[in-house]
């Protein structure tokens, strides 16, 4: 198959990476209702086609948090993403740098931030969870400063992990670690190309940022169990004072779905928020990002930078999110699917596809610059 879209890369990744890894990236929580809504609600945003406008020169460039970007897009943080290809986050950051967009490294990445910094040609963003161990968090923040990360993305919608049935069925999580280990090994053997490229030549297969507390040789199941037991459900808005005391650069709160929470984030001095339901991986049945975004934009527009993720599968979807009120858009699964199929080359191709699709969508809606994309290009019915 020749990949012509993000959905093509999804299928190619499914064929190449071990089943448990694909299920982890692809799946949502419970019955995956919110996961499905993220995609379907965004697809239903009807755009106004306009004609006979001069669209010979289209400019996708923008500025986010003081950084000049080639388009209003960033690669979202995705846990375990680096296991989809050999030293995967290093390949992804090179692709993002080449495209002129930010890469966001997850706390639970396969590659440590220092390794990613060595591979990068420009500073990348870093995502942090709130964990019980504040000393560990201080260490992560200090390390992010040391590699010159310009933006911290603080994830707030994970006081405890959502129930992800697909991870249990695949053997990635569950009570019986031995049975899961055997199941995962069998799945690896069925993907010999991945086993050679990543399993043997991509070592160490660990979560680099937390190896200092878990040990470099701990199995993935141990890492996931450690994280699950170390998320802090006692976190409140006051906790932002702790983050702010350690981090003096732009701070983005990720996981906002309610206008009241958006106003709280603005009141406490956040520089931006991500309208997000964690890719449908936490509260199943929650609003899709597309439905939540307009009310949040109305509540805090002009007070902070608004980013959004969830269900974005094309450049057309990026334009839809911008029209609904976002200043920038994060993509998660699309870049990981491409990474799983063909590494850095695949991620570069996905970013090129999205850029090309944005140009077509802008031309056909009569817009030539990012600041022209707003609710006026949405057809009257909005989300059908």
Give the whole-angstrom CA distance, residue 329 versus residue 312: 8
CA distances from 146 to 37, 214, 231 (A): 39, 22, 25
- Give me the residues paired with residue 369 across strands: 59
Q: Taking every pair of C-alpha atoms in the chain, what is the biggest distance, in angstroms? A: 64
Catalytic residue among 16, 278, 291, 333: 278
Question: Any catalytic annotation for residue 19?
Answer: no
Taking phi first (over 0 means left), then psi (-120 to 50 degrees means alpha), and beta for anything else, what does residue 279 get? left
User: Residue 179: its pLDDT value, please?
Assistant: 77
User: Residue 130: its pLDDT value, please?
Assistant: 83
User: Residue 204: its pLDDT value, please?
Assistant: 83
Q: Which residue's structure tokens are 């799946």?
A: 27
Query: Do the beta carbons of residue 277 and residue 283 sit within 8 Å?
Result: yes
User: Residue 381: its pLDDT value, please?
Assistant: 62
Domains of the chain are: 6-372 (3.20.20.70)
User: Residue 175: its pLDDT value, please?
Assistant: 60
pTM of the model: 0.95
Query: Do the beta carbons of residue 10 and residue 157 sit within 8 Å?
Result: no
Q: pLDDT, tens digit, for every residue of 276-299?
A: 999 999 999 999 999 999 999 999
| CB-facing half-sphere around the CA of 141: CA atoms within 13 A | 22
CA distances from 217 to 105, 196, 207, 223, 321 (A): 21, 19, 10, 10, 41
pLDDT in tens, the chain (384 residues): 899 999 999 999 999 999 999 999 999 999 999 999 999 999 999 999 999 999 999 999 999 999 999 999 999 999 999 999 999 999 999 999 999 999 999 999 999 999 999 999 999 999 998 888 888 899 999 999 999 999 999 999 988 888 899 998 998 887 667 777 888 899 999 999 999 999 999 888 888 888 776 655 666 666 666 777 778 888 889 888 889 899 999 999 999 999 999 999 999 999 999 999 999 999 999 999 999 999 999 999 999 999 999 999 999 999 999 999 999 999 999 999 999 999 999 999 999 999 999 999 999 999 999 999 999 999 976 554
User: Residue 219: its pLDDT value, please?
Assistant: 62
| Pairing label, strands 67-69, 305-308 | unpaired
Give the whole-angstrom CA distance, residue 16 versus residue 173: 21
CB atoms within 10 A of CB 238: 8
The residue among 349, 368, 330, 370 whose CA lies nearest residue 61 is 370
User: Residue 217: its pLDDT value, please?
Assistant: 61
Q: pLDDT, tens digit, for every residue of 171-209?
A: 888 766 777 788 889 999 999 999 999 999 988 888 888
User: Residue 216: its pLDDT value, please?
Assistant: 59
Give the whole-angstrom CA distance, residue 345 versus residue 95: 7
């Amino acid at each position: 198959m020749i990949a012509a879209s993000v959905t093509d890369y999804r299928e190619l990744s499914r064929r190449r990476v071990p089943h448990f890894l694909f299920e982890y990236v692809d799946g949502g929580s419970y019955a995956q209702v919110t996961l499905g809504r993220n995609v379907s609600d965004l697809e239903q945003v009807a755009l106004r086609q306009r004609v006979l406008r001069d669209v010979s020169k289209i400019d996708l460039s923008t500025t986010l948090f003081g950084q000049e970007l080639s388009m209003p897009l960033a690669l979202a943080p995705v846990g375990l993403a680096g296991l989809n290809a050999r030293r995967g986050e290093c390949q992804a950051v090179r692709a993002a740098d080449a495209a002129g967009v930010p890469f966001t490294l997850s706390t639970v990445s396969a590659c440590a931030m220092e390794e990613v910094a060595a591979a990068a040609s420009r500073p990348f963003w870093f995502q942090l969870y709130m964990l019980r161990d504040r000393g560990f968090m201080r260490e992560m923040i200090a390390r992010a400063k040391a590699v010159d990360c310009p933006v911290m993305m603080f994830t707030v919608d994970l006081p405890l992990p959502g129930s992800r049935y697909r991870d249990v069925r695949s053997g990635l999580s569950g009570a019986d670690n031995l049975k899961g280990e055997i199941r995962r090994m069998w799945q690896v053997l069925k993907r010999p190309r991945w086993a050679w490229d990543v399993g043997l030549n991509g070592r160490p297969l660990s979560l680099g940022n937390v190896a200092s507390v878990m040990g470099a040789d701990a199995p993935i199941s141990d890492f996931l169990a450690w994280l699950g037991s170390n998320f802090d459900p006692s976190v409140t808005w006051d906790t932002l004072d702790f983050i702010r005391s350690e981090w003096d650069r732009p701070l983005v709160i990720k996981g906002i779905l309610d206008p009241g929470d958006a106003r709280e984030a603005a009141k406490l001095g956040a520089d931006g928020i991500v309208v997000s339901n964690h890719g449908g991986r936490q509260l199943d049945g929650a609003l899709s990002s597309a439905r939540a975004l307009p009310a949040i934009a109305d509540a805090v527009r002009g007070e902070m930078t608004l980013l959004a993720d969830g269900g974005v599968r094309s450049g057309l979807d990026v334009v839809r999110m911008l029209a609904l009120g976002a200043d920038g858009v994060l993509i998660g699964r699309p870049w990981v699917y491409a990474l799983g199929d063909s590494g850095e080359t695949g991620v570069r191709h996905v970013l090129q596809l999205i850029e090309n699709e944005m140009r077509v969508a802008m031309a056909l809606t009569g817009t030539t610059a990012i600041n022209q994309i707003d609710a006026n290009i949405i057809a009257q019915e909005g989300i059908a």
